[in-house]
Amino acid sequence: VYIINVTWSDLTSQIIYRRYSKFFDLQMQLLDKFPIEGGQKDPKQRIIPFLPGKILFRRSHVRDVAVKRLKPIDEYCRVRAP
């Protein structure tokens, strides 16, 4: 579970807790609803950030995988709409 501090346009903030699968599900929904912004027709027009897909791993590797995903999730959450 990742802890995210969300700051809204009115400058209020809220802490949310999400699993990687929820980020990935959001990514899939965005790509389905916004194919142009997702770069499906022209990769140069992609403005939806890339997020690595789900991977299978053994339980003993849960922490390692979670740590490796920190940077992509952080970058994904920091992207602002143009």
Q: Is the pLDDT of residue 12 over 60?
A: yes
For the question of whether the overall pTM of this predicted structure is more than 0.75, the answer is no
Q: Which of 9, 42, 27, 37 is nearest to 75 (CA)?
A: 27
Question: What's the pLDDT score for residue 17?
Answer: 94
Beta strands in 1-82 (DSSP E): 2-7, 13-18
Question: What's the pLDDT score for residue 16?
Answer: 93
Question: What's the pLDDT score for residue 67?
Answer: 86
What is the set of domains in the chain, with CATH numbers?
2-78 (3.30.1520.10)
Average confidence score pLDDT of the chain: 85
Question: What's the pLDDT score for residue 64?
Answer: 83
- Give the model's confidence band at 50: pLDDT under 50 very low, under 70 low, under 90 confident, else very high: confident
Rounded Cα distance between 47 and 39, Å, is 7
